[in-house]
């Protein structure tokens, strides 16, 4: 029986992946090389540290510990500058309606994001009150595809993984959900997220009740 939903933030609830890409691209260019969209797809779901490690590997670049930490701070500052004007209307289509419908069904709702800015973004787009639990990059030590972020959410929601549906837009996030024993819904491209139990272009294309009914049918 489905009793809870856990959502990733970027690309599922808010249209921030393009902003992350722009900020990481500025990082790469500051180091003398570039970052393309297909490379950025591989960064989705990773935390800031893991993302920078991967970017440095692509650029065959080494930094001191201080330079590495300074660059992570700089990336975050660039990203926050881009998100500073976000408002409720910047939520992805259908998100507010989907979350409200989930609350009306008395489902427990959690956030499971690698972003250390997750709560700030939720506040800006007026979503915070939908969530019973918010797990973000300030509380985790392992990056997706490790299921840690979802496991922490499960404990705080006091539910079993098998009773929770995870909504993700990245391959790493879907793998984390599957490895953790959760049900999974991909948000985005079906070819990229083909490991998920079902895939939708966005939350606007489905409803909490439809998702629950489809999982009940599958079982």
Q: Which residues are catalytic?
A: 8, 10
Asked if 181 and 162 count as a contact pair (C-beta separation under 8 A), the reply is yes
CB atoms within 10 A of CB 138: 11
- CA gap 4, 193 in Å, rounded: 21
The helix/strand/coil state of 2 is coil
Cβ neighbors of 13 (< 8 A, separation 6 or more) are: 7, 91, 92, 95, 122, 125, 127, 203
């Amino acid at each position: 029986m489905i009793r809870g939903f856990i959502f990733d933030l970027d690309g599922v609830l808010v249209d921030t992946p393009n902003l992350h890409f722009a900020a990481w691209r500025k990082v790469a260019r500051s180091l003398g090389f570039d970052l393309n969209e297909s490379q950025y797809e591989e960064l989705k779901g990773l935390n800031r540290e893991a993302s920078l490690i991967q970017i440095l590997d692509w650029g065959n670049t080494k930094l001191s510990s201080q330079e590495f930490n300074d660059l992570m701070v700089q990336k975050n500052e660039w990203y926050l500058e881009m998100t500073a004007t976000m408002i409720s209307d910047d939520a992805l289509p259908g998100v507010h309606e989907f979350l409200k419908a989930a609350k009306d069904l008395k489902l427990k709702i959690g956030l499971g994001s690698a972003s250390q800015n997750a709560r700030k973004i939720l506040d800006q787009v007026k979503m915070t009150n939908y969530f019973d639990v918010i797990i973000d990059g300030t509380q985790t030590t392992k990056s997706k595809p490790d299921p840690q972020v979802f496991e922490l959410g499960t404990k705080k929601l006091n539910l079993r993984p098998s009773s929770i549906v995870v909504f993700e837009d990245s391959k790493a996030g879907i793998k984390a959900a599957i490895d953790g024993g959760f049900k999974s819904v991909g948000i985005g491209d079906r070819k990229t997220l083909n490991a998920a139990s079902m895939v939708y272009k966005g939350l606007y294309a489905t409803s909490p009740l439809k998702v629950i009914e489809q999982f009940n049918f599958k079982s």
